[in-house]
Amino acid sequence: MWPWLKYLYKENPQQLPSVLERYLETFNTHPVMASFCFGALAKQEEKIAKDRSSDHVQKNLLRWVDTRRSLSITTASIGDRLFWGSLKPLTLLLALFICLFLHINFFEPDLAQTEPSAYIWVALLSAWLVFNSVALFVKWIGISLGYRCEENVCFGLICFDWNKTIYYAKKIGILLALLMLFLGAYFFFKATGPLPNYHAMARGTLMVFFILCSWMAHKLRVANLYIYLIAVLMFGLVSLF
């Protein structure tokens, strides 16, 4: 906000310290969706800077505080569900699918490079570009809508149906994650050859066990990182005997 504040108060720079004080308070929201807050606060600040009559200053300041508080909570809620909860895992799955279709089977622990490096970069670049295209678009449109729209339309937030977008993104995510599990199983059986292969069956049973453990861990609100650490500990202990 600093360049904007400097521009607004270029004729009254002595007011900048008191203005800055408001902006130095703790502000916690989602980094992408924060653009809506920036746009709306820029508009509010413009009103405060232009309308200097004492009655209006007080009223505008209160509105600025309200806008900041309410918007930061709303945008954080949308941003966390849309970007961290949906788009980030979706773009990860996109990269994983591209890897598999380009014959990079990341399910195998002894992964060897048989395909050209360009294939790997295609997968990564796709994930990176898709996430950032959406994020930069929302950042850009957020500042613009936040500045132009009024409070009655939530500073442009209701121009998009966020809940519907999150709903469909999550539905697609479930389908893709299920498909990825099946593809993993398909590549596993393809690599192990004809059954009965007892080594492969033991490995397969372990994988099913870990899938169930991971599911159970989430039900118990335990992060899956701990499942991995427990697995290392468990196998380590077994290996000692």
Which residues are at the interface with another protein (CB under 8 A)?
Answer: 2, 13, 16-17, 20-21, 24, 28, 31, 80, 84-86, 88-89, 92-93, 95-96, 99, 104, 106-107, 109, 111-113, 117, 120-121, 124, 127-128, 131-132, 135, 163, 167, 170-171, 173-174, 177-178, 180-181, 184, 203, 206-207, 210-211, 213-215, 218, 223-225, 227-229, 231-232, 235-236, 238-240
CB of 47 to another protein, least distance (A): 21
User: Which is nearest to 157 in space by CA: 75, 221, 61?
Assistant: 75
C-alpha span between 104 and 111 (Å, rounded): 8
Give me the phi and psi of 30, to 5 degrees please: -85, 135
- List CB contacts of 66: < 8 A, sequence separation 6 or more: none
Nearer to another protein, 148 or 206 (CB): 206
Nearer to another protein, 1 or 57 (CB): 1
Give me the phi and psi of 106, to 5 degrees please: -70, -10
User: Which is nearest to 43 in space by CA: 138, 146, 140?
Assistant: 146
Joined tokens for residue 201: 């069956």
Nearer to another protein, 59 or 89 (CB): 89
Nearer to another protein, 46 or 80 (CB): 80
